[in-house]
């Protein structure tokens, strides 16, 4: 019912909310329902009528996260448009470091065999996403600060993401394979083979999670985070270039940064019709950078930015599913011939290949919209208030 992002948002909201928060019960209802708890038990656990529990779950299934107020989960911007961009970058980095501090202990807890698998998967997903956001911020703002130091930090953060990558990929892969093994179109023999193949990958995932936690718990990562935190806490100095006037405020520089990233996205237009999956993944990376840039500064932008971000998130969900299928195909291609459940391998490969084509078709209307004047007008309106 919940996406990984939705579950992460609600988990974080519950963790930081006071007992009397008006929306705390609703968040808990959805989290418990997503774990498979029946409405009667949820009602007793949360302290609300069963009818209210059922009605809220139904409402969420129809409307999604819009059942909550738009601004409920968004922190206010800690800076204004006249803030120096380098100072805004430091404050953005501080926010990402707080998120990393929230999710990192939960990732380490995933090594416990008794830990909630769903929560562990969410923690890995969110930690990788937050690190990616921090790397994006460093990439965007390094030219306005100590470039060499920040580039080195960004490179090290990528290594930390790599430590988490196998766990995240195998978690998604095994979940997809588990769903495939229960599909009605399989014969009894094919279902047995798919179950054996799933067992093989689940064992691999357990081993990968132990290794991941050993790597992520290394003290060098805390040293890296402390280094970034020291940079983020430093006081900015107004830039100077031999007495020349230099643009340095956020509202001076942000529009150019946004349009530069839009250009990086639109450059893929002539490539997509015949592009290999690696190129689609490249587009996904550029779209993420655009999304994060707009999210960093959304409180400073006009209302049309919210609509643009909604479209970008939907596009990235499709591209994420496409990339998961790409990773799944690569995992299957590397299997030895005598792997348990080998008979299910070509079946699941065919299913993933079909999904790839379906995701491309579903993505096409979004991509055509990005290349239309109306979309660029919304972007211009979002930035015109700066």
Q: Are residues 126 and 196 in the same domain?
A: yes
Which pLDDT value is given to residue 2? 81
Residue 243 lies in a domain: no
Q: Are residues 180 and 315 in the same domain?
A: no
Confirm if 123 and 107 have CB atoms less than 8 A apart. yes
pTM (two decimals): 0.83
- Residue 297: which CATH number? 1.40.20.10
Q: If you search the block for the tokens 């209802």, which residue do you land on?
A: 29
Q: Are residues 103 and 206 in the same domain?
A: yes
Residue 242 lies in a domain: no
Q: Report the domain count for the chain.
A: 3
Which of 49-63, 102-116, 255-269, 335-349 is the least confident region?
102-116
The model's pLDDT over 23-67, given as tens digits with 9 standing for 90+, comes to 888 988 999 998 889 999 999 988 889 989 999 999 988 888 888
Going 120 to 53 to 70 to 72, the CA torsion angle's sign is negative
Using CA atoms, how far residue 178 sits from 13, 35, 81, 121, in Å, is 30, 16, 48, 15
pLDDT band at residue 114, thresholds of 50, 70 and 90?
Answer: very low
What is the rounded CA–CA span in Å between residue 353 and residue 351?
6
Residue 351 lies in a domain: yes
Measured from the Cβ of residue 276, the count of other Cβ atoms closer than 10 Å reads 10
E-assigned strand segments in 75-200: none
Can you list the pairs that 131-134 forms with residues at least 24 positions away whose Cβ atoms lie under 8 Å?
A: 131/96, 131/100, 131/157, 131/160, 131/161, 131/164, 132/161, 132/288, 132/292, 133/96, 133/99, 133/292, 133/295, 134/93, 134/96, 134/97, 134/100, 134/228
Q: Are residues 54 and 102 in the same domain?
A: no
Which pLDDT value is given to residue 285? 95
Q: Are residues 98 and 215 in the same domain?
A: yes
pLDDT band at residue 187, thresholds of 50, 70 and 90?
Answer: very high
């Amino acid at each position: 019912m919940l996406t990984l992002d939705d579950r992460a948002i609600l988990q974080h909201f519950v963790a930081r909310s006071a007992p009397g928060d008006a929306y705390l019960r609703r968040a808990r209802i959805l989290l418990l329902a997503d774990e498979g708890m029946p409405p009667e038990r949820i009602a007793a656990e949360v302290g609300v009528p069963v009818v209210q529990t059922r009605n809220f779950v139904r409402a969420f299934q129809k409307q999604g996260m819009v059942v909550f107020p738009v601004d409920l989960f968004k922190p206010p911007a800690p800076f204004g448009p006249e803030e120096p961009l380098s100072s805004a970058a430091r404050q953005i980095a501080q926010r990402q470091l707080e998120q990393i501090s929230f999710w990192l202990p939960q990732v380490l807890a995933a090594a416990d065999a008794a830990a909630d698998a769903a929560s562990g998967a969410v923690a890995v997903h969110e930690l990788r996403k937050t690190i990616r956001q921090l790397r994006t911020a460093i990439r965007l703002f390094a030219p306005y600060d100590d470039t060499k130091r920040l580039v080195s930090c960004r490179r090290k953060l990528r290594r930390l993401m790599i430590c988490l990558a196998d766990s995240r990929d195998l978690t998604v892969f095994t979940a997809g394979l588990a769903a495939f093994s229960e599909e009605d179109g399989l014969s009894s023999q094919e279902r047995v083979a798919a179950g054996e193949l799933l067992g093989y990958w689940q064992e691999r995932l357990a081993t990968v999670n132990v290794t991941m936690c050993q790597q992520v718990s290394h003290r060098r990562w805390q040293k890296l985070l402390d280094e970034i935190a020291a940079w983020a806490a430093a006081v900015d100095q107004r830039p100077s270039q031999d007495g020349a006037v230099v643009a340095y405020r956020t509202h001076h520089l942000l529009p150019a940064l946004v349009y530069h990233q839009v250009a990086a996205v639109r450059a893929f237009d002539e490539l997509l019709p015949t592009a290999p999956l690696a190129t689609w993944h490249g587009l996904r990376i550029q779209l993420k950078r655009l999304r994060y840039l707009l999210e960093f500064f959304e409180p400073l932008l006009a209302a049309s930015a919210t609509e643009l971000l909604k479209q970008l998130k939907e596009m990235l969900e499709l591209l994420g599913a496409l990339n998961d299928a790409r990773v799944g195909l690569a995992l299957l291609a590397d299997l030895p011939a005598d792997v348990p459940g080998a008979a299910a391998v070509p079946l699941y490969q065919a299913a993933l290949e079909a999904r790839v084509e379906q995701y491309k078709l579903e993505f096409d209307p979004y991509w055509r919209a990005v290349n239309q004047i109306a979309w660029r007008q919304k972007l211009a309106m979002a930035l015109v208030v700066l």
